[in-house]
Each structure stands twice: as structure tokens, then as C-alpha cells.
Amino acid sequence: MVRKIAKEISLNNVKIEDGFWSQIQKTVIDTVIPYQEKILKDQVSGAAKSHAIANFRIAAGLEGGEFYGMVFQDSDVAKWLEAVAYSLAINPDEELERRADDIIEIIGKAQQEDGYLNTYFTIKEPDRRWENLHECHELYCAGHMMEAAVAYYQATGKDKLLHIMERMADHIGNRFGPDKEKGIPGHQEIEIGLMRLYHATGKEKYRDLAQFFVDERGKNPNYFAEEKKKRGWSHFGLDPKDTKYSQCHLPVREQKKAEGHSVRAVYMYTAMADLAAEIKDQSLYDACVRLWNNMVNKRMYITGAIGSTPAGEGFTIDYDLPNDTGYGETCASIGLIFFAKQMLDINPSNYYGDIMERALYNGVISGMGLDGQHFFYVNPLEVNPGISGELFGYRHVLPQRPKWHACACCPPNLARLLTSLGKYAWSEGEDTIYSHLFIGGELSLEKADIKIETNYPWEGRIVYKVSGKVKDEFQIAIRIPAWAKNTSIRLNGEEIRLSSSIKDGYAYIKKGWDKNGVIEVTFDMPVRRIYSNTKVGANAGCVALMRGPLVYCFEGIDNGDELQSLRIPRKGQIRILPYDRDLLKGIVPIEVEGIKLIGEGSLYSEIPPEEKPVILKAIPYYAWGNRGLNQMRVWMLEKW
């Protein structure tokens, strides 16, 4: 029977002190959160206008003016508030909390008497509430604000926003349900928000409403077409007949392939997995497994990015993974991490944990500049200045991160994920503590205090110092990545026989910890040559490099401005360089023996290019685009 065997760890119990992640979290707390607050208040010169806070003030009657922005502009505020909540949990800040409280006060005043909360319809089209679920994101915005409300309550103990969103949830529940209107959200997210409300409050009506939205999707594939005909107006002009776009082509339990808009899809899968475990629905869980398998084995980039086309920001067909026109929205990789964590809590397996790690270290943090003030929406695997961001078909592939986006879903999504990192690093079961990610710091639970020391991802050594608090035996389960070479685990200096302790890629170490103990995990981290399935046409004849969880890439600034002329010999030497603290805020670069092809100059010729030996330099993919405008490639042509 499907059920959760592990639960989320409270951020209050995790303290991250890590050479890699502490720097990123510090950037988010010190720079990203205040920068985004200024963005939301339109106080950053040269950045795309947000007006999101002003929209709430106008809806609350605190100032005059018109609504500005996307119909889902409210969600930017919600995600920012959620990031603030996690920031306060790990780094209390009375002034930041006061400013957040002030914004929550405005949100409360913007709520209507019947519980409805949405600034677009309150200000601009009050007579059209709930008429356009396909395009207008009312349920999506509500879901994000519910997530923010739960996070803020858990971090601060303050329940004002929680009560605001309970009122909104009740308003939605009074309108939609099995014996009421049969609506479904165009963009999934309300399902996650309602499940989080359920977990925080214990009120089953919120779980039941989430189940209604999950169960209803796809029962009537023509729902959005019928809705459009009934209302007679459009907002974006979305095609309601494209049922795969919003995953309503089939009931969710019958879906077998990751289809449509990638963010909508993984948000839905996240809620499906959470719900399946809560209501012990095997068929719903089986659908999650099928969809995961299709997505990660046939429709995912090496970086953990998903969504290969700007047309619908979504999936296309199996093995269609273009590098220079791919989409790879930051939000989609974040949603993949959400989905992975739900699957991990049901079935702790490195099959899920490895993908969560891959997306985190590559497809997610690539979306933010190292300065914390520039952001990618699209994360390509190849960029060519003069083409990328300029020519038709490539305009979505920006070669440099802008300060903000008119559609700004990704930057605050990054902030909320990176401040809540502790929730993804650990889970806790009845008799087992699970270590999913190798992040230094301290964990304090009822069973034990654990201190983690590591220089990961640069080195493959992790030390767990366990101080037990109970006499009963319990287990510590540590993920062993499938890529890890020559893994060794020592307990108090004695090597553990791995064949008897590993299950689904997790090493289980069981003992009475009241006398404390030290677990040392080590594995080799060579550079690995990665090849695509031959069905991926974009990567034919190419090789990519990975070390540990990190995908590496080549930039023009290190290798000249004709990356397409470079080749990597199959038997060429690869050298791991020392850690360089002055390069890109500290990285381990890689040097590769390469070949540069030099042609004779004419457009076409019968004379083959000359081959010149060169030394190529690669950097972690997440750090690309931080040194000005230049080329970038992940997949390099290989010479046999």
C-alpha cells in the first residue's frame, strides 16, 4: 500500500553551514530578497516594471490607480513572502519581518467580504470572477498565497495570512466540488497549496478539495472549450482544444507521458504524489511513477531542465531535446525538485534523489546570476551571441541574465526554494533519518543531533557526527549516488559491508546511537564523459562532462569565440584543476585536451580543416553567463 514513510523536516531544525550552499543562501538572504522587494515596489531603475505591491494597495483601497502586469502578478508577492518566511526561519530579522507583516496587512485589506482574493479581478474586471479558469490563474495565485501563508505561520507563529487564505480556500470550496461547479485550474498550483493547508491545519476539507481538482482533471477534456464558449471572451487567446497543454487530455490516472506546459505538469505531479500517499491511492501513485519515468528517461535535459520548446513552454515528444532553442524554464526544474521530494518521501531511492540533486545543482541555480540581481527564465545548453536572443526562433534564449522579467515567476521561485533547502536535504521516518543531499551543517531532531562536515560538490567526502538522544536503535539512511565511484562507508573507523546495507541506493546504518558515532562516506569524483541516447538527434557525435552532480560547460571567454570548431578526443586527457576561490565565486575548473579545426577561409572547400591541439577549459554549468556576453556549450563534438 502506498504511503509516506518519511516526513518533511522543519527548517527550524536545520542549520546550513556549508562551503557551497551557505554562500548561495547568504546571497539570497542579503541580496535577492531585499532586491526583489524593491522590484515588487518598482524601486529598481532599469528593471521591468512589477507594480505587484501597488496592485494590492489599489485593491485594498489604500491608493488609486489601475492594475498593471500579468493576470497572475499576485503570485510574485506570494512567492516572495514564502521566501521571506524561510529566510526568517534560518536567519531571524525583525526589520524584514516587520516589512512582511505590513505587506500581509495590505493583503488582508485587499480580501473581499466573501473571502475572494485576487487583485486583477478586484481592480479590473470584478464582474468576471471565476469565468476564465483556463487563462486567468485565480486558482494558481490562490495556491501560491496558501503556500506562503503556511510557510509564514510555521516560521513566525503568526497566523494572519493563514486565516486570510483559509477564508479564500473556503470561498473556493463553496464554489467548486463534486456537487458544485466542476471547474479545474488552467495552471495547476492550487492543489499544492490546498495540500499544504491540510498538512498545516489538519482540516480534511482542504485535502478533499485538492483531491477534487486532481480527480476532475481530464474527466471532460472539452471543459475549457465549453468554458470559452459560455463566457465568450479571452484573455491570452489560449487554444482550449489543446488539451495536452494543460494536462486535461486524459484523467490523471490514465496519463502515461509528460505532456504540455512543463511547469503546470510538475506542479500537478507534485500534488498527485502527495495526495496519493495521504489517501493511499495506488493507482494515483502508479501514474506518478509512469510520468516520472517518461519525463526523466526521455524528456529531460542532462542539467535536469525540462520543457524543450517555447511553444507552450512545454514538452514535445520523446528525445526531442534541442540545445540552442530549448526552453528549460527555471520554474520547471524547481517543480521537478518538488515532485522528486514527494516521491522520495514515499520511496527513498537514489532514482529520485539523484535527479533532485541534478536539477538543483544545474537546472535551478543556473537561473540566478552570482550577484543575485540577474535572472534567467530560459536555461539553454548552447548560446551563440548574434543568434541567441535575436533571430526568429531563438529570441527566447537570452545570452545574458536580465535584471527582471515582465513574466517574473522564476526569480521569486528561486528565492523560496533556496531558502528552504533544508527541507530537501533531509526527511524523517518512524525509525529512520534520511540524508538526501550532502550539505554541511547541523540537524537537531528528537532522536539525535547530527553535524555534517563536507566540501561537496568539490570533494567526495561527507562526515556525519551523530549524537544520539535515545537508547532505542534507529537508522540513518544516506543516499549513495548512482554515479559515485568506489564508495566506502566507515562507522567509527570500521568499514561497513555495503552489499548488506544498501537498499534502492540508500545505505542504512542501524545501531543504538546513545553512545554517539561518526559515519564517514567517501567516493571518487572523476570527470565522467556522458553520452546521449542515440535517438537525441541534437547530441549525435557529442559528449558532455560531469563531475559529481555538476554538469560542466565551455564558454567563449575561456576557449575562444568559435566553440563549434572545437573537438574533444575520445582518449584525450582531462585534468581536474585546483579549487579557484577567485573564479566565479569559487569553483573547481576542468582542463581538457582538445582540437581546434582551422579552415582555409572560403564558405565551402574540398580542403579539410587543419587540426590544432589546444587545451580547453570547462566550468560548472550553473556559473555560465557571469562574465559578459560570450558563447556557451554543454555538448561538444567528440573526435574518435
CA distance 540 to 560: 23
The answer to whether residue 331 is catalytic is no
Asked whether the beta carbons of 392 and 419 are under 8 A apart, the reply is: no
Cα distances (angstroms) measured from residue 329 to each of 31, 513, 547: 22, 44, 23
Amino acid at 499: S
**How many CB atoms sit inside 10 A of residue 97's CB?**
18
Q: Which of 278, 313, 357, 428 is catalytic?
A: 313
CA distance 144 to 119: 14
Q: State the residue for C-alpha cell 540537524.
A: 443
Cα dihedral: 633, 636, 637, 638 (round 10): 170
Phi, psi angle pair for 62, to nearest 5°: -90, -15
Phi, psi angle pair for 309, to nearest 5°: -145, 145
**How many CB atoms sit inside 10 A of residue 558's CB?**
18
Q: Which of 288, 331, 409, 410 is catalytic?
A: 409
The answer to whether residue 409 is catalytic is yes
Written as nine digits, the cell of 358 is: 541534478
Q: Does residue 91 sit in helix, strand or coil?
A: coil
**Distance from CA of residue 4 to its chain's centroid?**
21
CA distance 572 to 590: 13
Amino acid at 390: E
- Supply the angle between the helices 94-110 and 160-175 in degrees, to the nearest 10: 30
| Pure H helices in 111-137 | 119-123
Edge to edge, the sheet with strand 485-491 lists 14-16, 441-444, 448-454, 461-468, 517-524, 485-491, 494-495
Question: Of 83, 92, 77, 67, which is closest to residue 15 (Cα–Cα)?
Answer: 92
Amino acid at 73: Q
* Per-residue DSSP letter, 442: E
**Residues marked as catalytic:** 313, 409
